[in-house]
């Protein structure tokens, strides 16, 4: 391998993280291909239903995450054991997050509109891990010079300030901005100073008696969603498949309370 590989991957000890990311993406993509084939009734694949019980792939995913996580702790930061544990963890994480919507709703919403959350969470996770792998550190401390890094007080202030801005962005209903703002400098600042999204806790608290602010926030959210909703929807359908309208309606319908 060349000097770039050694300087940026091997020397900082990022090889396990790289392997985990690649295994995570591969696990998710292979799982989506198989589930789409099962949905279409093609290929030799089928649901695992021992005794009539549908075993979702989140179950082996959790097992792999546990094995990989404890294996990484037991093997330390170096050696073949850490690399193998990283791969096992990445495979399990891909299976688990592919059914994130099922865990969130406690219902089988895989092919419903609510199931899109799984694809979105996987893409966000892969992007954030990729940024960390590329050298971006949480809370923007990667932008500090060597002299500034030696001043621990400055580093703590920088981290605390960026973390606070990320919390404000999250308070304003901008979850993606808050997540990326933790690793990319100034993103959290932009999310914190701009108008909150309608329906966010910030908007309910501070826009209740400000009709002009509510109107501006609603108009900005409308234009943003109209611009990006369709491309994001096409991208998610390309990766995860189109949702089933019947299942989306069933998932959105109110559930009857369990009998006493």
Predicted confidence (pLDDT) at residue 242 exceeds the cutoff of 90:
no
Predicted confidence (pLDDT) at residue 259 exceeds the cutoff of 70:
no
Can you say how many angstroms the Cα of residue 73 is from the centroid of all Cα atoms in its chain?
23
The number of helices, as runs of H, and strands, as runs of E, in the chain is: 13, 0
pTM of the complete model beyond 0.85 = no
Predicted confidence (pLDDT) at residue 85 exceeds the cutoff of 90:
yes
d(CA 163, CA 180): 11
d(CA 71, CA 92): 13
According to the model, what pLDDT value does residue 260 have? 53
**Which residues does 236 contact at the CB level (< 8 Å), separation at least 6?**
116, 119, 120, 123
Which of 32-36, 149-153, 179-183, 222-226 is predicted most confidently? 32-36
Predicted confidence (pLDDT) at residue 143 exceeds the cutoff of 70:
no
Residue 86 backbone dihedrals phi, psi, to 5 degrees:
-65, -40
Predicted confidence (pLDDT) at residue 197 exceeds the cutoff of 90:
yes
Q: In percent, how much of the chain has pLDDT > 70?
A: 88
According to the model, what pLDDT value does residue 125 have? 93
DSSP 6: I
d(CA 186, CA 194): 12
pLDDT mean over 177-188: 86
Crossing angle of helices 15-40 and 116-133, rounded to 10°: 160
How does pLDDT run across 26-40, given as a tens digit for each residue? 999 999 999 999 988
According to the model, what pLDDT value does residue 103 have? 92
d(CA 60, CA 95): 8
d(CA 198, CA 204): 8
**CA angle centred on 183, ends 241 and 204, rounded to 5°:** 75
Buried b (16+ CB within 10 A) or exposed e, 178-212: bbbbbbbbebbbebbeebbbbebebbeeebeeeee
Can you say how many angstroms the Cα of residue 153 is from the centroid of all Cα atoms in its chain?
31
How does pLDDT run across 43-55, given as a tens digit for each residue? 888 888 888 888 8
- The answer to whether 200 touches 170, Cβ cutoff 8 Å, is no
According to the model, what pLDDT value does residue 230 have? 87
Higher pLDDT, 184 or 23: 23
């Amino acid at each position: 391998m060349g000097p770039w590989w050694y300087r940026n991957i091997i020397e900082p000890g990022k090889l396990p993280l790289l392997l985990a990311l690649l295994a995570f993406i591969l696990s998710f993509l292979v799982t989506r291909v198989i589930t789409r084939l099962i949905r279409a009734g093609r290929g030799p694949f089928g649901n695992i239903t021992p005794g009539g019980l549908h075993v979702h792939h989140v179950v082996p995913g959790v097992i792999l995450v546990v094995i990989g996580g404890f294996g990484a702790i037991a093997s330390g930061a170096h050696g073949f054991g850490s690399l193998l544990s990283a791969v096992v963890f990445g495979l399990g994480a891909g299976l688990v997050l592919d059914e994130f919507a099922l865990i969130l709703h406690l219902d089988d919403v895989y092919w419903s509109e609510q199931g899109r959350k799984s694809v979105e969470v996987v893409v966000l996770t892969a992007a954030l891990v990729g940024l960390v792998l590329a050298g971006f550190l949480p809370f923007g401390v990667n932008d500090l010079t060597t002299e500034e890094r030696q001043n621990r007080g400055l580093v703590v202030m920088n981290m605390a300030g960026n973390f606070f801005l990320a919390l404000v962005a999250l308070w304003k209903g901008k979850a993606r901005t808050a997540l990326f703002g933790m690793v990319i400098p100034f993103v959290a600042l932009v999310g914190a100073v701009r108008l909150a999204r309608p329906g966010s806790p910030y908007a309910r608290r501070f826009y209740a008696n400000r009709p002009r602010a509510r109107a501006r926030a609603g108009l900005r959210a409308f234009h943003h969603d109209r611009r990006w909703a369709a491309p994001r929807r096409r991208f998610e359908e390309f990766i995860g498949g189109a949702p089933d309208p019947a299942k989306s309606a069933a998932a959105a319908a109110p559930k009857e309370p369990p009998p006493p």
